[in-house]
Chains A and B, each alone.
Chain A
């Protein structure tokens, strides 16, 4: 089955700096790659996603890039703010076989004011 690896496990940045979280996946059939943000004690919330026919997608301060050849995708957060502090999860899925999200192990992002 699909295996998604996520790095780093923890990331501390100063307010205003950029943060980058990277994920790799194993199943070349995966074609959907969402990112979720989970605040302490809350449910995961979708923040951005990308499909395999697109290389990059932006939404205000966040962007995701996808390299299908290398089977990796990344989340970029610019001008970080304290409210960006949370755990971020990448995931992958496909529309054949096991049609459910496989998640990475998460990155705890701390933005220092």
Chain B
């Protein structure tokens, strides 16, 4: 039981490049979310999903896309990276919106 697995752990991108941050969980959780963490701003919700095939926007969705084709996987795509997207990205999952979310170990992204 690996929990929530995020890859890569670190990434440096050039402005304008695209990439996909991977997130996978093996707990059969329906609810999955992506957050970005910036100093002094807590964790801000980017996108979330309440089950396979169902996604919705969070507080800061611009510049990011998601899809949920399976229960296990919830990748986050950066369409055209910008320096403002430099952040630490966390994926989290839960079996219910009213139950503790389990977080992945994070991806530290730098856009130059």
Contacts and interface: CB of A to CB of B under 8 A. Distances in A.
Given A43-B106, A105-B41, A34 B48 contact: no
Interface stretch (A13-21, A57-65, A69-77, A93-101): A93-101
A8 interface: no
The 6 closest A-B pairs by CB, nearest first: A99-B97, A32-B98, A100-B48, A46-B100, A105-B42, A43-B103
B51 to A, nearest CB: 10
A98 B48 contact: yes
Contacts of A51: 98
23 contacts: A9-B40, A32-B98, A34-B101, A43-B105, A43-B106, A46-B100, A89-B42, A93-B98, A94-B98, A95-B96, A98-B56, A99-B48, A99-B97, A100-B58, A100-B97, A101-B33, A101-B43, A101-B92, A102-B59, A103-B42, A103-B43, A104-B42, A106-B40
Interface residues of B, number: 27
Interface residues of A, number: 26
B43 A43 contact: no
A55 interface: no
A87 to B, nearest CB: 9
